[in-house]
A and B are shown apart, each in its own frame.
Chain A
Amino acid sequence: MVKFLKDINLKNKTALITGATKGIGRSTAIAMHEVGASIIAVGRNTKDLYSLQKKLKNRIKCIECDVNDYEKISKIIKNLKRIDVLVNNAGTNLPEPFLKVKKSSLETLLNINTIATFNIAKLCTDKMLKLKNRKKFGGSIIHTSSMFGLVAGPNRTVYSMTKFGLEGLTKGMAVDLAKSNIRVNSVCPTFVATPRAKKYLANKDFNKYVLNNIPLGRIATESDVATAITYLASDAASMITGTNIIIDGGWTAK
C-alpha cells in the first residue's frame, strides 16, 4: 500500500535533553519517551531529575550537571555510548529595560543561552559523528529558541540578542552538518505555560499585553512545543533542516 503519512517515532534513538528538569525540557523528555526514545536527561536539580526518572522508569538516564560547567559536561558527553538527537534546551531569561541591564545579567544570559548552548551543540555533534553509519542513520539537533529570536519584545534586549544568535547558529550548523545527514532546527515558541512564564503572567498588565499580541488568543502549552520538537527529531522530518517551527499563535505573523 502507498503510504504518505510518515510515522513520528524515535525507536532505537537516544536523545540527550538539557534543562530537562522543568518546563519544555521535561515535557520533551516525556513526549520523546512516549514515541520510543531512550532519554538522557541533563539538569541541575537532583530532586527534579529523580522525579522524572521515577515517572519514565525505563529508557532514562539522569545526569546532574550545570551546562555552564564545561569540563564536567564534556567529560559526561565523551563517556556516553551514543547520541542521535540533541534537544539543546537549557536557557534562561532575566528581563530588564535596556538602560538598566546589569553587567551580571548580560553575562549570565550570554554564558548559558549562547556559550554553553554552542559548546553542548559542538560536543554532542562530535559524539554523533563517531557513529560510522551516521550518514545513513541521520541525526537531529533541536535548539529551543523563542519568538524573541525573530522579533523584539519589551525588556528583552539581551534575551533577543541571545535567541537571534541561536537562530544564526541553527542555520550555520545546518549548512555545515548536512553532509553528515545531521539536521539542525529550532523551535520558536511564544509564551508557554511553564513555571517560569507563569510567574511573568501573574502580572495582569503583562498578561494582557501577551494575549493581545497572540491572534489565537491563548498561550502555548508545553505539549505543543514538545510535540513539535519530537516531530523535528524524528525521520518524519527528514527533509527539514536549517529552519524553525514557530509556535506562537500568530504573534510574529503581524
Chain B
Amino acid sequence: MFKKIDLKNKTALVTGAGKGLGKACAIALAEAGAKVIIISRTLSDLIKVEKLIKKTKGSCLKFECDITDTGKFKNILKKIKRLDILVNNAGNNRPEHFTQVKKENMEYLVELNMKAAFNVAQMCAQKMVRLKSRKKIGGSIINMSSQLGRVGAPIRSVYNMTKFGVEGLTRGMALELGKYNIRVNSMCPTFVETPMVKKFFKNKKFKQQVLENIPLGRVAQEDDVSTAVAFLAADSSSSITGTSFMIDGGWTAK
C-alpha cells in the first residue's frame, strides 16, 4: 500500500547542483537509485558532488554550464540519452530594499530565476515528451521555489516577483504536461541552512526575525527539502501535480 521512494531506472537532471539544495537533491536522488546529471557553473564543486554521489554507489554525469547560456545547455541535453526527472533548482537572491533595487540586480534575478528556469524547463520537457513510452513511465519536474513564492518579505521584492512567477509557471506547465503524464510541482522551503543562508544569518537580528516567524522554531535542513524533492520525483506521488510543497515550519500558515 505504501509507495516507497524508488528511482531505479530513472535519469534525473539537477541544475545548480554544485552547492546547497541542488547538491542535496542530486545526492538524495542518487540514494533513491536514480542516475543523476549534475549541472553547475563551478567545475570544482561538481567534482566534489560527483565524489559524494559515487559514495552512495550512484552513477552521475557532470556538466559545467551557466544555465543562462541556452545554447550550451541545449548541447548538453543532446549528449544525454533520456530524461525522466528535472530538478529546476539554479537560482539566486540579492536582497535590497525596493526603493534601492539596482537595475542590474533586478535584471540578473529575472534572467536567472525566471528566464533561465523557463528555458531549462522547456528544453527538458521537450526532451522528456520525445520518449515513446513517456505516458506509461511518467515524468516529474520540480521547480525550486520558496515560501517567498507565496508570501512577501522585507527587502525581497525582486525575489518575491521571480518566485511567485515560478509558482505560476509550475501550474501552467502542470496543466499542459498532464496529458504526457509529466507531473510538475514546486518546492517552497523556508530558510534552509545552506551556504547562501548561513551568510544572511551572520546578521543576528535577521536570524532572530526569521526564527520568530517559524512556529516550529527552527530553520529547515537541506535533507528536509531533498527528501521532499525525491518524494515528488518518484511514483510515490503519482497523483500530485500543479501544487507546491511548503516546507516552512508553519511560516505561511500564520
Residues of A within 8 A of B (CB): 1-6, 8, 27, 30-32, 34-35, 170-171, 174-175, 178-179, 181, 183, 189-190, 214-224, 226-228, 230-231, 236-243, 245-250, 252-254
Contact = CB atoms under 8 A, between A and B. Distances in A.
B238 interface: yes
Given A5-B5, A215-B241, A253 B31 contact: no
Given A5-B230, A175-B250, A178-B217, A254 B243 contact: no
A247 B241 CA distance: 7
B56 interface: yes
B2 A239 contact: no
B137 to A, nearest CB: 14
B181 A216 contact: yes
A241 B231 contact: no
B175 A253 contact: yes
Contacts of B231: 231, 236
Interface in B208-254: 215-218, 220-224, 226-228, 230-231, 236-243, 245-250, 252-254
B246 A243 contact: yes
A5 B242 contact: no
B32 interface: yes
7 contacts: A5-B32, A35-B2, A175-B215, A178-B250, A227-B236, A250-B175, A254-B175
Contacts of B239: 189-190, 216, 218-221, 224, 247-249
B215 A4 contact: no
Contact of B178 (A220, A238, A249): A249
B71 to A, nearest CB: 31
A101 to B, nearest CB: 30
A1 B25 contact: no
B223 to A, nearest CB: 5
Contact of A250 (B55, B178, B215): B178
B1 A239 contact: no
B76 interface: no
Contacts of B236: 227, 231
A175 B253 contact: yes
B3 A238 contact: no
Contacts of B237: 224, 227-228, 247
Contacts of B252: 242-243
Contact of A242 (B174, B215, B245): B215
Given A4-B24, A239-B248, A243-B253, A215 B2 contact: no
B243 A253 contact: yes
A82 B64 CA distance: 53
A240 B236 CA distance: 17
